[in-house]
């Protein structure tokens, strides 16, 4: 960890950098801020180089500039830079856009800034380049499973009544309500809305199985924080390990876990674990109380919005061209930065800590 500024100042700097990273849409500035923040958090130069694909000089330079100038040091220096492409440069960019079928806006922004020193004020200038290259705006999407609205409508008030019953204990911190789910991060998650060839269907290629990471996450109703842990897959073994992880996070509190009906959430091994934990206790005192949502409707679980926000943020950083290790680091950084207080957090009731 850096020793040039006091620990208390480093703590304040980390919080300042977190806020900046959360709100900044320019991938180049985020990359600089991430390098400095990771260094303050105790990461080695070698690990930051691996995560962000930068040099040791890059890290040291932006750390020194941040300590001298603050957040303003990350902003691009536009003085003396071009505001447009020459005809030859434009032709080179059009040729470059022809090298693959799918692009994101951030990739083009990053390429123009790093290769030609050009940063357009209007997004339309970038759109015009895509259009000239024969690319159009398209959406990559997945088919959602069918749902039973009647079951969903019945389940919501059931959950609301359950949480209302424990309101005092929840607000006192004796009971933690956790919305739990798994997220599978893949290289293809960099793609959302993209620019693709006209009259051609956009298909995200199947990535190597090694470029896949499963995350278990629990969104805490009271603190609005998400507790994420990486696992090899979504299965019974990993689910048991994650339940133990949650118990370590909340060692003296009872847990109400709300999750979907995945087979590994209701396996015999999971049931045996819960029976052992809760043996001899009345339901009101169970150490872990698991409640399943109605089937086939992820909108019931607020943590789905967390995964969406995290992946959307990662897509905005696509111009950084991260390795898969870097992609995971960006995803984990976002989950660690945020307090997730959005309307869906209150769909089963509004709870506030008693101080």
As averages over each run of 10 residues, the pLDDT of the chain (355 residues) reads 62 90 81 90 85 79 90 74 77 88 76 79 80 74 64 94 96 96 80 56 49 93 95 96 98 97 96 97 97 93 91 70 78 83 89 85
b/e sequence 154-173, b meaning 16+ C-beta within 10 Å: ebeeebeebbeebeeebeee
pTM above 0.75, yes or no: no
DSSP letter, residue 284: G
The answer to whether 177 and 170 are in contact (CB under 8 A) is yes
Pairing between β-strand 212-220 and β-strand 102-103 as defined by DSSP bridges: unpaired
C-alpha 181/C-alpha 88 separation (Å) is 50
Question: Hey, which residues does 215 pair with through a beta bridge?
Answer: 183, 230
C-alpha 169/C-alpha 247 separation (Å) is 17
C-alpha to C-alpha distances, 69 to 75, 84, 88, nearest whole angstrom: 11, 29, 37
Query: Domains of the chain (ranges plus CATH)?
Result: 7-74 (no CATH), 87-133 (no CATH), 149-188+209-346 (3.30.420.10)
Q: What is the Cβ-side half-sphere exposure of residue 12, based on CA atoms within 13 angstroms?
A: 7
* pLDDT for the residue 50: 76
Q: Using CA of residue 242, residue 245, residue 250, residue 251, what is the dihedral sign?
A: positive
Those residues whose C-beta lies under 8 Å from the C-beta of residue 287, and which sit 6 or more positions away, are 247, 254, 255, 277, 278, 281
* pLDDT for the residue 322: 66
E-only strand ranges, 158-225: 175-186, 193-197, 212-220
* pLDDT for the residue 147: 76
């Amino acid at each position: 960890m850096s020793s040039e500024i006091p620990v208390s100042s480093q703590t304040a700097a980390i919080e300042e950098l977190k806020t900046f990273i959360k709100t900044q849409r320019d991938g180049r500035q985020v990359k600089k801020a991430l390098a400095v923040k990771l260094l303050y958090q105790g990461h080695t130069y070698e690990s930051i180089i691996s995560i962000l694909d930068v040099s040791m000089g890059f890290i040291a330079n932006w750390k020194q500039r941040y300590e001298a100038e603050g957040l303003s040091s990350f902003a691009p220096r536009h003085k003396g830079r071009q505001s447009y492409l020459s005809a030859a440069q434009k032709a080179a960019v059009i040729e470059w856009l022809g090298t693959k079928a799918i692009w994101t806006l951030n990739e083009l922004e990053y390429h123009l800034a790093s290769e030609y020193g050009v940063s357009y004020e209007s997004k339309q200038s970038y759109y015009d380049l895509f259009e000239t290259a024969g690319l159009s705006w398209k959406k990559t999407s997945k088919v959602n499973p069918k749902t039973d609205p009647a079951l969903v409508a019945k389940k919501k008030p059931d959950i609301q009544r359950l949480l209302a019953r424990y309101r005092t204990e929840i607000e006192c911190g004796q009971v933690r309500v956790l919305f739990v789910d798994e997220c599978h991060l893949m290289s293809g998650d960099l793609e959302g809305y993209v620019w693709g060839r006209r009259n051609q269907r956009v298909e995200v290629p199947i990535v190597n199985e090694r470029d896949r990471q499963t995350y278990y996450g629990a969104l805490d109703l009271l603190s609005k924080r998400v507790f994420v842990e990486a696992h090899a897959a979504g299965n019974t073994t990993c689910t048991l390990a994650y339940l133990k992880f949650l118990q370590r996070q909340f060692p003296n509190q009872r847990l109400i876990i709300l999750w979907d009906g995945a087979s590994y959430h209701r396996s015999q091994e999971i049931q045996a674990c819960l029976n052992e934990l809760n043996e001899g206790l009345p339901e009101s005192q169970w150490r872990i109380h698991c409640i399943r949502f109605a089937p086939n409707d992820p909108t019931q679980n607020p943590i789905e919005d967390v995964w969406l926000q995290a992946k959307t943020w990662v897509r905005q950083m696509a111009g950084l061209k991260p390795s898969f290790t870097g992609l995971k680091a960006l995803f984990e950084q976002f989950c660690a930065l945020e307090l997730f207080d959005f309307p869906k957090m209150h769909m089963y009731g509004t709870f506030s800590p008693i101080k």
